[in-house]
Amino acid sequence: MYASLSRLRQSATAAHVLPLAVFMAMTGVVGWLRIENSELPWYQRAPEHWLYPVQTVLVGVMLVYFARHYRLAPWRGIGLGIVLGILGILFWIAPAWVYQRMQAAGISLPQWVSWFGMEDRSVGFDPGVLSDWPVWQKAGIGMRFVRMVIVVPLIEELFWRGFLMRYVAAGDRDWKQVPFGEPSWKVYIIVTTLVMLAHNPSDYLGAFVWGSLVYFVAVRTRSLAACVVMHAVGNLVLGLYILQTRQWGFW
């Protein structure tokens, strides 16, 4: 078993793919564990509040385990990443913000507008489930930010930009020999479309625009660090917006 783990640790492909694969698998388990019954304890009716912290720690350990394979440098284009991270996430949340205002004004909208992100986002990861345990509630929110500002930007950018962009561009080459940020319309269309499809339909527009902006940062700066920082800043702004507006569906 030790030999198998050692070989796995030597694989650059595993290092870039496995953390996101494990993360997504654990996220998918939440629906199986949840029991819709308000009389049950929080850990049965809202298992995400204990599973996500476990997920964050586990995937964080995986990132450390595979750290030898990750190359974020050069550390350039960080300012561009910060600016586009803010603009990208504002574009993502804008349709739901408009929807809220229109609903408050009594304006009804057809169902199809949800495909453009215009829908209610009040149902989701609600820290209020832990309101009777203030310490755990604060810890849960803290871990949620660790998850979305540190872990998620790393595992997603390592996979989408650090691995998949180069893998699609590689052709007959070893993907590791493909320079990071090598421009290609084929790569842009395939990777950005897959990023979009990895989200819920109501987030397709936001995810496509976001994926396009991160692709631009990747080819403009040739820096994976800039992409990670962009993702981290965008998620930080999103998290603060969620806490302010209680739009838990954006978690």
Does 18 reside within a domain? no
Does 50 reside within a domain? no
The number of distinct structural domains making up the chain is 1
Counting as low any pLDDT under 50, the low residues of the chain are: none
Tokens, residue 44: 């049965």
Tell me the residue range of the domain where 238 lies: 72-250
Does 213 reside within a domain? yes
**Quick check: bond before 74 cis, omega within 30?**
yes
Does 8 reside within a domain? no
User: What are the C-alpha distances in Å from 61 to residues 57, 227, 242?
Assistant: 6, 21, 27
What's residue 1's pLDDT? Answer: 65
Name the percent of the chain lying above pLDDT 90: 80
What's residue 112's pLDDT? Answer: 87
Does 220 reside within a domain? yes
Does 20 reside within a domain? no
What's residue 220's pLDDT? Answer: 97
Does 205 reside within a domain? yes
Q: What angle do CA 89, 27, 64 make, to 5 degrees?
A: 85
Terminal CA-CA length for the chain: 37
Does 38 reside within a domain? no
| 3-state class (DSSP) for residue 99 | helix
Cα 7 to its chain centre, rounded Å, is: 28
